[in-house]
């Protein structure tokens, strides 16, 4: 790997990527969960390949608040909020000292809500937007401050695995980073450029939600907000549109802060943040649900009319547990419908029946399949008990990733995927380039988190209550499960066959299988499947 030279506070240093050869990965591999899925052993191979590529994204850079940290993997000059949050959502399965998922978020907290600064570097990998030259000193920036606000979600999901009370007390009580970030976004009534950030903010708070922009939302060239059948511009960025995902993500943040406060026994904070969540939930329910079509959509800030462009953003109300049971059921039909977000290759970034859908190569957010939005949508399905739909679409998605890895050269994991075949998608730039390779990065969410939570079916872990929830496949070929699942101070193997479940644990916990509670003692137990 190429070095990235750095100056920080007048000191010269030569930070290198960590020594990430296969021998080194083999040494740490034993500290990761071991999936077992006899039905399709190729998905287990893909799982390990994802960790290997992710290990190559653990980066050491002196001058950062947190180093080593998880690097998104394509540009040395910038760090991204939503990439880092989504990376934390698969790093939760690994020890933080190996894969520093939530620790990476300190690099954003430190700048946006502290008094920190980022170092100057001499980059080797430079994106087209960076005003830098390879080999010349430049400033490292947070790319944008109003990326999807997923810090609290990432912290909550990781807390359920770690059970780390000390970290949560420092996060919520001492530094109040999550509360500060929520309030920061609520305070945006005009565009500003925060210190340490490359670009100005576009998110603007309104009574019923937020104005935003495609790049800030993460869905760069989405046609959402267009006027007419086709988007007239690469990024319509309708100045009158209130973005569904923005209000749902802020609601999710408030809900997760409330849940974290509850884990710490702070009832006053829990109640306060739950009230913020309920306020957002009521607005989404009243204004963003289109009962005629059966989907949540973006709305006009003046007329409150819908912009009926169906994308995975319509699933954020499920991820944030805003939707009613009926609304969730109607929304989930989109991933079962081959004319919408389903089909042989599901979780397209735009409905297949949309006039702007690009079935040839995906054209970035005009149809490509993206792992972060697929994961968020699948979490929404699991929240409402749509396990079969989640498993079916997740299997298709992972099988596409596996076949692309094996059949397409270079053999790797990609930034996003073609909606019509087992190939990487293409970008929306003038060169129509193939999207970025080795993207683990957030694409590791598929072979790791989606595989464990949706396909194997271990969809909920709580180190505080010592609970694991498992939705088993209806029919199991061979063995299905996981070894070395760590949560809190517990390590357990959970393996299911067609008729039995074998659990080996070093401590007691409660296993809930298909809704049935089973007390697990330290040692080995065999349960009969009912």
Whether the predicted pLDDT of 106 surpasses 70: yes
Cβ contacts of residue 458 below 8 Å, gap of 6+? 452, 468, 469, 470, 481, 482, 485, 494
Question: d(Cα 231, Cα 130) in Å, to the nearest integer?
Answer: 27
H or E segment to which residue 311 belongs: none
For residue 211, which phi and psi values (nearest 5 degrees)? -75, 150
User: Please, what is the Cα angle at 69 between 135 and 180, to 5 degrees?
Assistant: 110
Contact 435, 414 (CB under 8 A): yes
What confidence score (pLDDT) does residue 459 get? Answer: 99
* 188's tokens: 């945006």
**Residue of 378, 377, 243 whose CA lies nearest to 316:** 377
What residues have CB less than 8 Å from 373, skipping those under 6 apart? 219, 311, 312, 313, 315, 347, 349
**What contacts 449, CB < 8 A, 6 or more positions away?**
89, 90, 92, 93, 375
416-430: average pLDDT: 96
pLDDT at 55 over 50: yes
Tell me: pLDDT of 442 over 80.
yes
Would you say 95 and 488 are in contact if contact means Cβ atoms under 8 Å apart? no
∠ CA 107-105-241 to the nearest 5 degrees?
Answer: 105
The rounded distance, in Å, linking the Cα atoms of 158 and 57 is: 19
Name the percent of the chain lying above pLDDT 90. 88
- CB distance 161 to 461 below 8 Å: yes
What mean pLDDT comes out for the span 341-362?
98
**Of 311, 335, 184, 293, nearest in space to 244 by CA:** 311
Is the model's pLDDT at 13 over the cut of 60? Answer: no
Distance (Å, whole) CA 61 – CA 68: 7
pLDDT digits (tens, 9 = 90+) for 443-502: 999 999 999 999 999 999 999 999 999 999 999 999 999 999 999 999 999 999 999 999
Average pLDDT, the chain: 94
**Residue 356, pLDDT score:** 98
pLDDT score of 186 more than 80:
yes
Note whether 280 and 243 are within 8 A (CB).
no
CATH class of this structure's domain 457-530: mainly beta
In this model, does residue 12 exceed pLDDT 80? no
pLDDT in tens, 314-325: 999 999 999 999
Please, are residues 121 and 14 in contact by the beta-carbon 8 Å criterion?
no
Planar angle of CA 333, 211, 74, nearest 5 degrees: 75
pLDDT value of residue 132? 64
Phi, psi of 179 (to 5 degrees): -65, -40
Residue 288: which of 323, 252, 328, 253 has the closest Cα?
323
Residue pLDDT, tens place only, 321-347: 999 999 999 999 999 999 999 999 999
pLDDT of residue 429: 85
Residue span(s) of the chain under CATH 1.50.10.10 come to 5-456
Of 530 and 429, more confident = 429
Per-residue pLDDT, 10: 33
Predicted local confidence at residue 130, as pLDDT: 63
With 70 as the cut, is the pLDDT of residue 9 above it?
A: no
φ, ψ (nearest 5 deg) of residue 67: -145, 135
CATH of domain 5-456: 1.50.10.10
Average pLDDT over residues 373-390: 99
Taking the CA atoms of residue 140, residue 413, residue 93 and residue 509 in that order, the dihedral angle to the nearest 10 degrees is 160
What does the pLDDT read at residue 126?
A: 62
């Amino acid at each position: 790997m190429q070095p990235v030279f750095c100056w920080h506070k007048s000191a010269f240093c030569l930070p290198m990527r960590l020594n990430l050869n296969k021998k080194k990965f083999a040494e740490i591999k034993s500290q990761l969960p071991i999936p077992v899925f006899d039905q399709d052993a190729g998905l287990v191979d893909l799982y390990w390949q994802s960790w290997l590529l992710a290990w190559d994204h653990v980066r050491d850079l002196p001058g950062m608040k947190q180093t080593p940290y998880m690097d998104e993997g394509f540009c040395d000059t910038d760090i991204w909020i939503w990439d880092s949050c989504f990376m934390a959502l698969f790093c939760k399965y690994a020890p933080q000292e190996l894969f520093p998922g939530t620790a990476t978020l300190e690099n954003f907290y430190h700048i946006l809500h502290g008094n920190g600064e980022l170092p100057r570097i001499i980059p080797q990998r430079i994106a087209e937007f960076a005003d830098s030259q390879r080999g010349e000193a430049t400033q490292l920036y947070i790319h944008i401050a109003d990326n999807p606000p997923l810090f609290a979600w990432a912290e909550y999901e990781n807390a359920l695995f770690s059970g780390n009370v000390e970290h949560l007390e420092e996060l919520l009580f001492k530094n109040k980073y999550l509360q500060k970030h929520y309030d920061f976004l609520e305070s945006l009534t005009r565009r500003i450029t925060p210190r340490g950030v490359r670009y100005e903010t576009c998110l603007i708070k309104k009574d019923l939600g937020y104005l935003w922009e495609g790049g800030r939302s993460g869905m760069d060239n989405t046609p959402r907000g267009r006027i007419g059948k086709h988007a007239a511009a690469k990024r319509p960025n309708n100045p009158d549109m209130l973005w569904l995902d923005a209000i749902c993500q802020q609601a999710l943040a408030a809900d997760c802060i409330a849940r974290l406060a509850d884990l710490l026994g702070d009832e006053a904070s829990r109640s306060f943040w739950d009230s913020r969540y309920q306020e957002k939930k009521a607005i989404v329910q009243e204004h963003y649900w289109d009962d005629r079509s059966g989907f949540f959509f973006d709305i006009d800030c003046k007329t409150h009319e819908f912009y009926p462009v169906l994308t995975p953003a319509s699933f954020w109300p499920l991820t944030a547990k805003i939707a009613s049971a009926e609304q969730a059921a109607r929304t989930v039909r989109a991933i079962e419908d081959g004319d919408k977000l389903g089909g042989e290759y599901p979780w397209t970034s735009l409905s297949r029946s949309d006039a702007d859908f690009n079935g040839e190569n995906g054209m970035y957010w005009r149809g490509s399949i993206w792992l972060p939005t697929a994961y968020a949508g699948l979490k929404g399905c699991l929240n409402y008990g749509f396990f079969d739909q989640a498993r079916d679409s997740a299997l298709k998605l992972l099988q596409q990733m596996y076949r692309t890895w094996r059949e397409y050269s270079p053999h790797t994991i990609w930034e996003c995927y073609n909606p019509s075949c087992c190939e990487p998608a293409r970008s929306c730039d003038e060169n129509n380039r193939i999207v970025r390779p080795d993207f683990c990065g957030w694409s590791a969410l598929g072979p790791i988190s989606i595989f464990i939570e949706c396909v194997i079916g271990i969809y909920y872990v709580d180190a505080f209550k010592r609970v694991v929830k498992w939705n088993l496949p209806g029919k199991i070929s061979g063995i299905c499960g996981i070894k070395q699942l760590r949560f809190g101070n517990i390590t357990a193997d959970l393996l299911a066959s067609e008729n039995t479940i074998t659990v080996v644990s070093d401590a007691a916990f409660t296993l809930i299988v298909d809704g049935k509670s089973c007390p697990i003692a330290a040692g080995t137990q065999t349960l009969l499947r009912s």
